[in-house]
Amino acid sequence: MKNDLVLRVVAKLFIPFILLFALYVQFHGELGPGGGFQAGVIAAAGVVLHALIFGLDAARRIVPERLVETMLAAGVLIYAGVGVAGLLLGGNFLDYFVLSGDPVYGQLRGIFWVEAGVFVTVSGVMLKIFYMFAARGRDEDGEEA
Amino acid sequence: MMVATVLILAKSRNLFAVVVLGGIYSFLMATVLVALDAVDVAMTEAAVGAGVSTVLLLGALHLCRADEAKPAQRPWLPLAVALGTGAVLVYGTLGLPAFSDPQAPIRTHVEPRYLNEAQKETGVPNVVAAVLASYRGYDTLGETTVVFTAGAGVIALLRRRKKKDAAKDDDGKAAP
């Protein structure tokens, strides 16, 4: 699909909006529908679209595999880190009230970081699985081309 | 429409059609969930079910043949088991309280507190987000770990294969 002008132009137009929408879903998740999981999937879908249109290597240049693999673990660590931060500040595990002077603000902060952790892990896993499958198919593509 | 999609899905032997129909089914499911006011779940269903999983299944389909093999025997026993389980589950729903009954136990246990206090306690207007990230933080941590484990499992399963292919490729680009 690399040489189809229409697909290339439409994808170039769409991908920024998909990624922006993912960020909107991420940061607006407390106010409207959405949250870390949905945002992570949407962001991963944006990169997957890029990989489908411009080829796997182009996507790998933008989002290298090392980064994706780091994201996999980093998200869980961020999430658990929020819990440990609560412990260190004198609360229970995953207790957000202590993260800030004002309990409600602490809650907001805790939820923000927790959602960020979910976002990072989910988008990392989705991308990693896609890369894995696509890379396996590519060897056969190379033979056909 | 969903019933028709499922029937065609079960009948079809072409796996490509099955994958696309699965995506259509996910979108229909998402509209049902919107109708039930579960916007968060609908969004997830549309993004994961119709979007990413369709792409992943197409990627997997690329690796194998596009037609389903003929089953070795007629699937009457599995069909009977599935129908029996379904019938038992439907029988079980008869014992549940009526839909949106205000006196049902689910409405009187923690739900009033979530709905009434969530905004005050967490400052988050979306109650779903508040429950997910705050009241049920442990569960969501577990879910994130499950997603991580899934990713790690895929890496563990597919990476070794890749190394073997690479080794074969090094032997003179003869590997399929």
CA distance A35 to B72: 45
Q: Where do the domains of chain B lie?
A: 1-64
Residue B14, strand partner residues: B67
pLDDT at B66: 64
pLDDT at A1: 54
DSSP classification of residue B45: I
pLDDT at B89: 92
SS3 B67: strand
User: Count of A–B CB contacts within 8 Å?
Assistant: 150
Number of domains in chain A: 1
Gyration radius of chain B's alpha carbons: 22
Asked if A44 and A36 touch (Cβ cutoff 8 Å), the reply is: no
CA distance A26 to A41: 11
Burial class (CB in 10 A: 0-12, 13-18, 19+), B8: middle
Q: B155-164: long-range contacts (C-beta < 8 A, 24 or more apart)?
A: B155/A69, B155/A128, B155/A132, B158/A132, B158/A133, B158/A136, B159/A132, B161/A136, B162/A132, B162/A135, B162/A136
pLDDT at A142: 43
SS3 A24: helix
- Residues, chain B, total? 176
Q: Give, rounded to a whole angstrom, the gap between the first and last alpha carbons of chain B.
A: 42
Return the half-sphere exposure (C-beta side, CA atoms, 13 A cut-off) of residue A60: 11
Q: Is B141 on the interface with A (CB under 8 A)?
A: yes
List the domain range (segments joined by +) for residue A86: 5-144
More confident residue, A144 or B73: B73
Q: Is B155 on the interface with A (CB under 8 A)?
A: yes
Find, in chain B, the residue whose alpha carbon is nearest to that of A93: B138
Rounded mean pLDDT, A108-134: 83
CB contact under 8 A, A114 and B147: no
Under-50 pLDDT residues of chain B? 170-176
pLDDT at A143: 40
ipTM of the complex: 0.71
CA distance A1 to B102: 54
CB contact under 8 A, A38 and B44: yes
CB contact under 8 A, B59 and A130: yes
Distance from CA of B162 to the nearest CA of A (A): 7
Asked if A76 and B145 touch (Cβ cutoff 8 Å), the reply is: yes
Pick the closest to residue A48 from A134, A139, A144, A142 (CA basis): A134
- Chain A residues inside the 8 Å CB shell of B171: none
Mutate to test the interface with B, among A15, A38, A92, A123 (most CBs of B within 10 A): A38
CB contact under 8 A, B154 and A132: yes
- Residues, chain A, total? 145
Asked if A108 and B123 touch (Cβ cutoff 8 Å), the reply is: yes
pLDDT digits (tens, 9 = 90+) for A10-48: 888 888 888 888 888 888 766 667 777 888 888 888 888
CA distance B135 to B122: 10
pLDDT digits (tens, 9 = 90+) for A54-113: 878 888 888 888 888 888 888 888 888 887 887 777 777 766 766 666 767 777 777 788
Distance from CA of B110 to the nearest CA of A (A): 19
Find, in chain B, the residue whose alpha carbon is nearest to that of A121: B148
